[in-house]
Amino acid sequence: MTGSGPRELNLFQKRSSPINGEKVEDLCISSGYIKILRAWHKGDYIELNFPMFIELIQSNPNVRENTGKVAIQRGPMIYCLEEIDNGNNLFNISLTDESRLKAEFDPDLFNGIMIIRGNAVRPDDSEWENILYKPMENKTKKAEIRAVPYCLWGSRKIWKIFVLCILLQRVKRF
């Protein structure tokens, strides 16, 4: 990133970003990003401090394909579910208001990474053999999930993945 002309660097708004150890005072914030316009020199560096809490991220409600779905994020990283850890039919996994997610260090995976473990639910399909439709019942069974950073998916073997989990809203009878 060296050169005599200004360079633009976009950093997500919530994060702090000292340059060369000095706090940047005049930040231009545009569309949720900090824009740093400056001439960059060899040896310049930006310190990034990311809070590393877990949160569920939703997309704009007008994105039809993502309605009712959330992504699991820890700090700047998005996590995904892989079949190798969570079994088949990942699309059936739902998070609920009672779901508890916890970051955990796994020393054996990729020489040590942070994974996210938690509880979720899946539909109880034990009464669905050879049935296509039936009256609504909210029968679920507990499921433990294990999520890995999205940037590492498919590194153990090519498996199906799921990034957006369904956020289960309890349906009330009318």
C-alpha torsion angle, residues 89, 90, 96, 98 (rounded to 10): 100
Where helices occur in 59-140 by DSSP H, the ranges are: 83-86
Return phi, psi of residue 71, to 5°.
-105, 150
Q: Which of 68, 88, 90, 89 is nearest to 79 (CA)?
A: 90
Inter-residue contact 114 to 104 (CB < 8 Å): yes
User: Within a 13 Å sphere around the CA of 63, how many CA atoms are in the beta-carbon half?
Assistant: 9
Count of C-beta atoms within a 10 Å radius of residue 53:
9
Q: How big is the chain, counted in residues? A: 174
Give CA–CA dist 82/121, Å, rounded: 16
Report the pLDDT value the prediction gives residue 21, as an integer from 0 to 100.
83
Write the CB contacts of 87 (distance below 8 Å, at least 6 apart in sequence).
none
The pLDDT score that the predictor gives to residue 173 is 45
Half-sphere exposure for 40 (CA within 13 Å, toward CB): 15
What distance in Å separates the CA atoms of residue 124 and residue 97, rounded to the nearest whole number?
Answer: 18
Three-state secondary-structure class, residue 159: coil
Cα→Cα distances 47→6, 13, 21, 35, Å: 19, 14, 7, 15
> What's the pLDDT at 157?
77
pLDDT at 6: 44
Task: Give the pLDDT confidence score for residue 18 in this predicted structure.
Answer: 75
Is 115:109 a contact under the CB 8 Å cutoff? yes
pLDDT per residue rounded down to tens, the chain (174 residues): 334 444 444 454 444 567 888 877 767 777 767 777 778 899 998 887 778 999 999 989 999 988 888 999 999 899 999 999 999 889 899 998 889 999 999 999 999 999 999 999 999 988 888 999 988 888 899 999 999 999 998 888 776 777 777 776 544 444
